[in-house]
Structure 1
Amino acid sequence: MKRFLPLVTLFISSFVFAQTPCINGTAGQYPCEGLDLMSRITLNTFGSDRGNDSWGWTDPQDGKEYAIMGLGNGTAFVDITDPVNPIYLGKLPTHTDSSTWRDIKVYNNYAFIVSEASGHGMQVFDLTRLRSVSNAPETFTEDAHYNGFGHCHNLVINEETGFAYAVGTSTFGGGPHFVNIQNPLSPTAAGGFGSDNYCHDAQVVIYDGPDADYAGREIFFGSNEDRVSIVDVTDKNNPIGISNGFYGSIEYTHQGWLTEDKRYFIIGDELDESAFGFNTRTIIFDVSDLDNPVVHFEYEADQEAIDHNGYVLGNDFYLSSYRAGLRILDISDIENGNMAETKYFDTYPGSDSANFDGAWSVYPFFASGNIVISDINRGLFIVRDALLGLNEATVSSFALYPNPAKNIVTVSSKIDPLEKIEVFNVLGQKVMDLNFVNTLSENIDISKLQTGMYVLKINASTTKRLLVD
């Protein structure tokens, strides 16, 4: 969000909601397509009046997954290994004052946190401490602190090199402020680049894209208010500006992310919807020649909402789109100028207008398929692909009742004999495997299943959702 935008009107609920499938276009009160709601933790639970950024950490020791969410007054840590029953482990309070803006990135099992709050600097938190929380939720303390800058809008980390890039500080004209974090508990100033305008957000990579001139170099792709800024930051003592990319109807170049082949840079302009009346607009740059980035095409969605943070995973672009929630776009044909929305989960039902409420950010990089959405007004959402990626049969000879069920569920058919029933939990794990011969009806004992949502796969062809209560 742009630094000088007014505070949004906030909504706080005292309830925590869990596991609701996306059926007929809604998951409870939330419009959706192809994404089930696993759970939601409200701002009230976190003891805050606003949400902002989010990121994630997977413990290399045991594979547990943790959501990290920025709040107005600190940073929350949540174990989402079981996405239906997330555990709020605790909060690291802000270093100074509360702020609308907070940003988190992770390197080497440490979280690095910045904020627009005056004098905040960069907090460092040892994430391995989350393994031994005994009395959740705890109030954590930071493990280290970097005070080479005060307020900071955003933080970028190149995990391959162990350097952090703080952007939007009062140093280097708001351009990237380099910090060596190879020893996370002893961050060290490493220079900066102040020759190309204020930087709002960025991505930094060891370049392995199509431009052979820069192979193996550390390249900074900045979203710099009115331009895309490409900088070679390999030599921290001598960063070199490579080029700028411009596009039409610029209002505020906010954030961007590279496709995995490094050929395209997908960016959003945060204020063009309200300034020019576009629907949600995404600009795709061809950066195959880093010396000459050019607009490849623009994509305009059906919604009026303002786009915020977007990330690429494979052939999908995950876009937090404020009042329109999370939108997932297929970019497999981006070369031919085509993108198409395939799934969505709207965390702000009732309006998709161009206002600063709703989904601030998304973290789609968990191996399990868990997707974290941080919402300004409604807290932390965990969603994932509709169970097993299967759609419930609209026409089927099989009936399932009662549903929800508690101890026994009956599966029956007037036509097709039951041969096999497989039951899968929300993680896609098979928890029951039953075989039958010449039967049209069976009572299935589900008394040992935990409360939640399951999928029954019948005769390897028909899928039915089952709620166990």
Structure 2
Amino acid sequence: MKRILPVFVMLLSTIVFAQTPCENGMAGPYPCNGLDLLSRLSLNVLGSDRGNDSWGWTDPQDGKEYAIMGLGNGAAFVDITDPVNPIYLGKLPTHTDPSTWRDIKVYNNHAFIVSEASGHGMQVFDLTRLRSVSNAPETFTEDAHYSGFGNCHNIVINEETGYAYAVGTSTFSGGPHFVNIQDPLNPVAAGGFNEDNYCHDAQVVIYNGPDTDYTGREIFFGSNEDRISIVDVTDKSNPEGISVGFYGSVDYTHQGWLTEDQRYYIMGDELDESTFGFNTRTIIFDLLDLDNPVVHFEYEADVAAIDHNGYVKGNDFYLSSYRAGLRIIDISDIDNRNMVETKFFDTYPSSNSARFDGAWSVYPYFASGSIVISDIDRGLFIVRDSTLGINDVSTSSFAVYPNPASDMVNITSKGEPIVQVEIFNMLGQKVMDQNFDEKLSENVDVSNLQSGMYVMKINSTTTNRLLIN
């Protein structure tokens, strides 16, 4: 969100909404298409007058899923393992003052939290403490604090390298401030980059895209107010700007995310709808040559709402679109300049106009298929694709053992022959695809998979969480 906003009118409720299927275009009071409402926790339940960012954590020990929601006065932690009956475990209060802006990312079982509040710095919270909450909701204390900056708009983490990138701070002219978080409870300043505009949001990856000049480099893709900025941050002591990318009808370059092949950057301008009268507009950059990013095309939705945070999982783009709620857009034909909205869940039913209310962010990376939406006015929503239903259907059709596993996994069917097993990582990327000869029991070699949580899909329909030790 841009840093200057009108005062919000908060709509509070003490109601906790439970499972409501999407039927005839509605899930209770919420317009929808293809997404069921599993539950909602109001801001009143979470003890705040405003909501903002969200992220998620899956416990590698037992596969439990937790939503983390930013609030005006802190960060809330919610056990959503049973998404129909979420448990509000407690809150980590803000380090200094309340603020409209709070952002969270996760690395190595720790949450890293920043805020625009003066002097806030970066809070570090050990998420494994959530395993032993006995008197929810609790008021938590931070486990560590980094004071190398004060106010901060956003935080980005590259989990492959263990570096955090704080953006929009008073340091490095608002450019990325590097922090080594490989030891989460002892964050260490690691430099920064100040040779481009103030950075509002970013994504950082170990590059494996089409431009082989940068294969294996750590590349920073920043949304920098009126441009995208691409920086090589492999050498923290000597980051090097690669290029900038511009587009037409610019007002505020807000946030973007790479497609999984790292060919395209899907980016939103936060103020173009209200300034120029577009419907929700998304700009797609072609990054075939990182030295020369060019606009591939622009996608315009059927509603007028302002777009905010968007994330890619597989062939879907999950966009929090303020008053239009969550929109899921099929990007499988992005090469041919074609994107199609397939599902939505509107958390702000009264209007889809271009105003700053409604869905702030979305987290779509849980193995269960649960999707978190954090809403400025109405709190935390948990939704799921209507075709998945509420329960993990794998428990009624297939047995997977052992789970957790390290070498081999046996899959046994109660009746349906096993013909295909696919395994996806937590970003929705397929890491294994095996076909079988229609037997009722098969062994799958998982010894090449790194430790962590995965999604196993059997016969293209049944899903199960798989933990690799």
- Cα distance in structure 1, aligned partners of 2:73 and 2:393: 36
Counterparts in 2 of 1:138-177, with a 5 A limit? 138-177=138-177
Counterparts in 2 of 1:21-60, with a 5 A limit? 21-60=21-60
- Cα distance in structure 2, aligned partners of 1:388 and 1:107: 28
Indicate yes or no: 2:403 matched with 1:427.
Answer: no
- Cα distance in structure 2, aligned partners of 1:364 and 1:111: 17
Q: Deviations over 1:304-323 (max 9, x none)?
A: 00000000000000000000
Q: Deviations over 1:263-322 (max 9, x none)?
A: 000000000000000000000000111000000000000000000000000000000000
- Cα distance in structure 2, aligned partners of 1:6 and 1:165: 28
Indicate yes or no: 2:342 matched with 1:342.
Answer: yes
Find the counterpart in structure 2 of residue 271 from structure 1.
271
Identical amino acids, percent of aligned pairs:
82
Counterparts in 2 of 1:355-370, with a 5 A limit? 355-370=355-370
Counterparts in 2 of 1:56-135, with a 5 A limit? 56-135=56-135
Amino acid at match of 1:426: N
Q: Deviations over 1:396-443 (max 9, x none)?
A: xxxxxxxxxxxxxxxxxxxxxxxxxxxxx53335669999xxxxxxxx
Q: Is the 2:109–2:126 contact (alpha carbons within 8 Å) kept by the matching residues of 1?
A: yes
SS at match of 1:130: helix
Structure 2 unaligned regions, length at least 5? 399-413, 416-469
Find the counterpart in structure 2 of residue 290 from structure 1.
290
* Rg larger for: 1
C-alpha deviation, 1:219, in angstroms: 0.1
Counterparts in 2 of 1:233-382, with a 5 A limit? 233-382=233-382
Q: Is the 1:19–1:84 contact (alpha carbons within 8 Å) kept by the matching residues of 2?
A: yes
SS at match of 2:274: helix
Q: Is the 1:66–1:77 contact (alpha carbons within 8 Å) kept by the matching residues of 2?
A: yes
- Cα distance in structure 1, aligned partners of 2:164 and 2:271: 27
Q: Is the 2:369–2:388 contact (alpha carbons within 8 Å) kept by the matching residues of 1?
A: no
- Cα distance in structure 1, aligned partners of 2:318 and 2:397: 33
- Cα distance in structure 2, aligned partners of 1:65 and 1:16: 19
Q: Is the 1:22–1:33 contact (alpha carbons within 8 Å) kept by the matching residues of 2?
A: yes
Amino acid at match of 2:363: Y
- Cα distance in structure 2, aligned partners of 1:187 and 1:368: 32
SS at match of 2:18: strand
- Cα distance in structure 2, aligned partners of 1:330 and 1:431: 30
Find the counterpart in structure 2 of residue 405 from structure 1.
none
Q: Deviations over 1:237-259 (max 9, x none)?
A: 00000000000000000000000
Structure 1 unaligned regions, length at least 5? 390-424, 436-469
Indicate yes or no: 2:222 matched with 1:222.
Answer: yes
Find the counterpart in structure 1 of residue 4 from structure 2.
4
C-alpha deviation, 1:6, in angstroms: 2.4
SS at match of 2:235: coil
- Cα distance in structure 2, aligned partners of 1:387 and 1:22: 11
- Cα distance in structure 1, aligned partners of 2:74 and 2:388: 35
C-alpha deviation, 1:387, in angstroms: 4.1
TM-score, length of structure 1 as denominator length: 0.84
SS at match of 2:129: helix
Q: Deviations over 1:347-385 (max 9, x none)?
A: 000100000000000000001100000000000000000
C-alpha deviation, 1:9, in angstroms: 1.6
Find the counterpart in structure 2 of residue 17 from structure 1.
17
SS at match of 1:297: strand
Amino acid at match of 1:171: T
C-alpha deviation, 1:135, in angstroms: 0.4
SS at match of 1:20: coil
TM-score, length of structure 2 as denominator length: 0.84
- Cα distance in structure 1, aligned partners of 2:388 and 2:321: 25
- Cα distance in structure 2, aligned partners of 1:76 and 1:32: 26
C-alpha deviation, 1:4, in angstroms: 1.7
Amino acid at match of 1:14: T
CA distance 1:23–1:188, shift in 2 (3 Å): same
C-alpha deviation, 1:8, in angstroms: 1.8
Amino acid at match of 2:95: H
Aligned residues: 400
Amino acid at match of 1:45: V
Q: Deviations over 1:43-83 (max 9, x none)?
A: 00011000000000000000000000000000000000000
Amino acid at match of 1:29: P
Q: Is the 2:70–2:76 contact (alpha carbons within 8 Å) kept by the matching residues of 1?
A: yes
Farther off after superposition, 1-10 or 175-184: 1-10
C-alpha deviation, 1:7, in angstroms: 2.8
Find the counterpart in structure 2 of residue 406 from structure 1.
none
Q: Is the 1:36–1:387 contact (alpha carbons within 8 Å) kept by the matching residues of 2?
A: no
Find the counterpart in structure 2 of residue 188 from structure 1.
188
- Cα distance in structure 2, aligned partners of 1:303 and 1:90: 36
Q: Deviations over 1:97-125 (max 9, x none)?
A: 00000000000000000000000000000
C-alpha deviation, 1:388, in angstroms: 2.8
Q: Is the 1:387–1:426 contact (alpha carbons within 8 Å) kept by the matching residues of 2?
A: no
Amino acid at match of 1:260: E
- Cα distance in structure 2, aligned partners of 1:44 and 1:427: 30
Find the counterpart in structure 2 of residue 396 from structure 1.
none
C-alpha deviation, 1:188, in angstroms: 0.5
- Cα distance in structure 2, aligned partners of 1:290 and 1:76: 38
- Cα distance in structure 1, aligned partners of 2:375 and 2:167: 23
